[in-house]
Structures are given as structure tokens and as C-alpha cells.
Chain A
Amino acid sequence: MIPVTVSDMGDGLVQARGLRKRFGEFEAVRGVDVDVARGEVFGFLGPNGAGKSSTMRMIGCVSPRTGGSLQVLGLDPAADGPRIRARIGVVPQLDNLDAELTVRQNLQIYGRYFGLSKAHVREKATELMEFARLTDRADDPVEPLSGGMKRRLTIARALVNDPELLLLDEPTTGLDPQARHLLWERLYRLKREGVTQIITTHYMDEAEQLCDRLVVMDGGVIVAEGSPSELIARHSTREVLELRFDPELRPAAAELEPLAERVEELPDRMLLYTADGEHTQGEVHRAGHRPQSSLVRRSSLEDVFLRLTGRTLVD
């Protein structure tokens, strides 16, 4: 992926400058700058309440902004909401499929909301059910479908108008691993077809799998920006050594600090951030420490995320 800078934003699908959203006293989004280029998969990563969904709703033209500027597909949501919405697809955080309709009808009727012709939506629904692997459930009601199937149907529904931009708000929350992998595969296929995607998630593996570029949000502001590997390089080390100690034998963090770039103390584990985990593991042993178990793993976005947004549990 070619790195995107502000100068080549001529092809930018979304451009936000100082974007703000206030609900009464509470300011959910406090000045956010975002550029999303055509063909890119862009991620908003952050804990609950970081302002991701509020930002998504403003981009989706269903929530008026309180301040700053916003352009979606070159248009202003405040003036051209319906025109923008005609060209985007939205996958909301909670499935809001029409429980009174069948799988096929959900797709067809939704297409009609876009003003598409009866013949067109009939054909499109067949194609999308194929894409979502729901063809054999075509004439079933929606309610008995599994969580993964409903999610796929919601995504298929968002594609009914052949959108240039797809907004996915926590697309795989609550899905089992198989369902997630199938969904990722479908989203990757869409990316190859050139559909620009904006995804919010708090799953690090999802962001690493899907996103070309992402921002980490916390408390309504962007705290970091880059590709997954850039962020890991900038805010973490190549590897992490995880040590688990018997409580009596657990050394103080200060004793381990000379052995790693950074040491993080968790209730049950100690994390040593280091370029070479195996080597550090040897050092720990040579220093006379005897962990119950130790694990060397690649550093992940999770480390970046926790470093940037803190380990305190949100809500």
C-alpha cells in the first residue's frame, strides 16, 4: 500500500478537520483529523467510549457534526446527506435487519429504499446472497439465523447499492472464530474489488488483518496514526516476553528493567518489551529469576493499544 499523505488527498473519500461531536455536556469527539483515500481500508481503533461510533455516524450522515469540517465523497453531509448516503453502505454495530421479512426480502426492500428498480434488486439480491453464502436460506425468516449469518446478511444489505464506501462499525463483535474468519475473507474480497472501507474495532487482530492504515482513538481524540506495522514499530518493540511467577518468587519490576526496553507489571504476569525475546529470556534466567512459565511472542497492536490508551478498564 502506498503511504497516503495530505498532499495526495485529491482522491480522498473522507476528509475531516477538527471534527467535533457534543451530546449536551459530553463531548464525544474532540477535534479529529482524518483522511481516507479511495481503495483503502481504514480503521478506527479504541476502547469503548473513545468516540469511534460517533465519528462513524457523522461520516454516515446520520449525525450532524457539532464543529469542524467534514467532506464525504467530496460533499458536505450537512447539505448533501441523502446524496452521500445513496453512495455509501453502512453496517451498524447492532444488526437491525427487518425481522418481519425473509433474507431475500431484506435485501430487495432495502434496495428499494435506494430507489433501485424491482428488476435490479431482484438480481442484486441473488448475487448478494451468493456472496454472503445465504442462498440456501433465501426464503427463510431472519430471526432463526445464526449471529454470523445475520452479520453477513447485514453486510450484504449494505452492498445493495454498490457503494463506493463501506462503513463497518465493529463488524465481528460477538462472532465465533469461524464466523469472523469467513467475514474477514469477504471483506478482503471487497477490498480487492476496490471498495473503500472504514472499520471500527477494538479487536487488535482484526485491525492487523484488515486495515491498511488506522488511527487509535481515546477520549474523543486521535492518539496515534499509521499502518499496523508502523504503529507497532513506533510504540512497541519487535517481541514481547511474558513471564508468570509464583507470587513469592516474583521479582520487582525494577530488577527486570535493565534486561528489557520496558517492563509492564500486570496482576498475573510481567511483560518485557524487547527486540529479541529468546535472548532476554536467557538473561532473565542468568539473573537467577525462575518464572513458572514464559512465552515469547510477536508484539501486536494490542501492546500498542494498551500502551496508548492505558490498562484501566473502560466502563
Chain B
Amino acid sequence: MTPLIWRFLPAGGYAGRPGALILRSTTASRRAWLAFLSGFFEPVFYLVAMGQGLGSLVGALPGPDGRPISYAAFIAPGLLAASAMNGAVFDSTYNVFFKLKYARLYDAMLATPLGPVDVALGEIGWALIRGGLYALGFLSVMAGFGLLASPWALLALPAALVVAFAFAAVGMAATSFMRSWQDFDLVTLAILPMFLFSTTFYPLSVYPRWLQIVVECLPLFHAVELMRGLTTGVVGLGLLGHLAYFVVMIGGGVAVASRRLDALLLR
């Protein structure tokens, strides 16, 4: 966390103990391992269905440096990025909203020395750990299919964590504005087209220029580019630009989420 961010966080809202929330989440999820499995298998199913099935019809596509790669190798990093996004968004929206409005869990936590920043970081941290485990699982599957073309692929794991962190932070900030379950349709409305159109399944070149610009603004596009560069081994300074996009998302998301939790819970 950069020191600058602290100035945007609520005063007295941090006890330095987000780890206690992560402990809570790991303890609670011991009984919910099934949800874990489904999160792991979803991208694997996509990879098999699209990569192997559809891939046999599509053949090869141009990779990040223009050289052809197999369709499976093209979409796998896209699915990796999308699963990091989906896991983080699910945790930080549905799960957080339930705890906030129904279980009143955060009210209980804030009666202790914990502050809203502990809550925000703890919940985002948990979303991140889950996202990291999914990414690790999916990367292993990719390795098994022979879809990791370069040692740079090792960096795809920390990159997935950064992506998950960014989506969790923004997801939690968005959740703090939600009034009812109806508002979650908006989440689906944002996530689904992003998943389909952010060059996950085909290259940017299929779009007219104006649509390319729109897609280039989407966070998932940057995540996909980042992952695809790393797993295919086409690494350049441009990847740092994609990374910067997520650093900004993280900073903004954590600051807004903490402030909103402060306003919602400490009335």
C-alpha cells in the first residue's frame, strides 16, 4: 500500500488486524469446500469445451507477437484472467452484501477494536487468497495441457493475484452502494459482456477501431493481455502499463470501500 492511500482512508479505522478476518473466513470455509471446487472447475470446463472442442475447428490464431498459437493456448490466459475476476467479484459483492445487510457481521466486528479498513482489507485479502488458489489450480491444468510456453508463466500467478485484488477492491466499493439484491443484476450486466468481449475468446483485430477503443478501456482486457503475454512468453514493458491499470483500481477501490463502510456502519 502506498503511503498516499492512507490519506484517503477513514481516520482511526485501522487496527492493523485484517488477518483476523482472514482467519475467520478460512475457519468458516472449512465447511464450504464444495463452492471451492466449483470455482476451480468452471474455467477448466471452458478450456476443455472451447479450447479442445471449438479449437479443433478454429485452428491457430495470431499470438501477442503475431506468431500463430493454438486456440487453446490463446483462450487459456483469457480464462485465467476471467476466473480471477469472477472469483473476486463474487466474493466481494454477493458475499459481502450478505454479511453487511443480513448477517450484520461487520457490526459485530466493529464493536471490537477492528475498524472499517481492517474489514475492507480482510475481506479483499480473503477474496485474493481464493483467487490465488483458483489461479494456481488453473495454471496447473494449463501446464498439464502443455499450454505454458515460457518460464514467464510463473509470474502469471502473482499477476492473477493483482487482478483479483483490483476486482475485489472495486467490487467491494460497488457493493457498499447497493440497496437490494436487484442491484446485483448490474454486476452481471457489467461482468458478462466483459467476460465475452475482452479478447478472451478472439483477438482485438476482429472489432472496428471504435469498438477496439472501448474494449481497451475495460479492466478485463488489461488482465487478459497481461496473462497472455506471460503464458506465451511475449514479455515487454507494455505489460507494466497493464499492471498500472490494476494498481489504480486497487488504490481507488480500497479507499472508496473503507470510506463507505465507515459511513454505512459507523453512523
Contact = CB atoms under 8 A, between A and B. Distances in A.
B265 A62 contact: yes
Contacts of B265: 62
B112 interface: yes
Given A81-B12, A112-B23, A98 B115 contact: no
A60 B108 CA distance: 12
A60 B24 contact: no
Contact of B24 (A23, A83, A109): A109
Contacts of A90: 111
The A interface is mostly helix, strand or loop, or mixed, namely loop
A85 B112 contact: yes
A82 B12 contact: yes
A94 interface: yes
Nearest to B16: A115
A159 to B, nearest CB: 13
Contacts of A105: 27
B28 interface: yes
Contact of A113 (B12, B29, B113): B113
Contact of A98 (B12, B24, B31, B267): B24
Interface in B30-53: 31-32
A64 interface: yes
Contact of A60 (B20, B104, B111, B113): B111
Contacts of B29: 100
B266 interface: yes
B17 A115 contact: yes
B27 A82 contact: no
A23 B267 contact: yes
Interface in A41-97: 60, 62-64, 79, 81-83, 85-86, 90, 92, 94, 96-97
A97 B108 CA distance: 8
B105 A101 contact: no
Contacts of B32: 100
A161 B114 CA distance: 13
Contact of B15 (A63, A109, A115): A115
Interface in B97-121: 103-105, 107-115
Interface of A: 23, 60, 62-64, 79, 81-83, 85-86, 90, 92, 94, 96-101, 105, 109-110, 112-115, 161
Given A92-B111, A96-B104, A110-B108, 18 more contacts: A62-B265, A82-B12, A83-B113, A85-B111, A96-B108, A98-B24, A100-B28, A100-B32, A101-B28, A105-B27, A109-B23, A109-B24, A110-B112, A113-B109, A113-B112, A113-B114, A115-B15, A115-B113
15 contacts: A23-B267, A60-B111, A62-B111, A62-B266, A82-B113, A83-B113, A85-B111, A85-B113, A96-B104, A96-B108, A97-B108, A100-B29, A114-B112, A115-B15, A115-B20
Interface pairs A-B: 3 shortest CB-CB: A100-B28, A96-B104, A113-B112
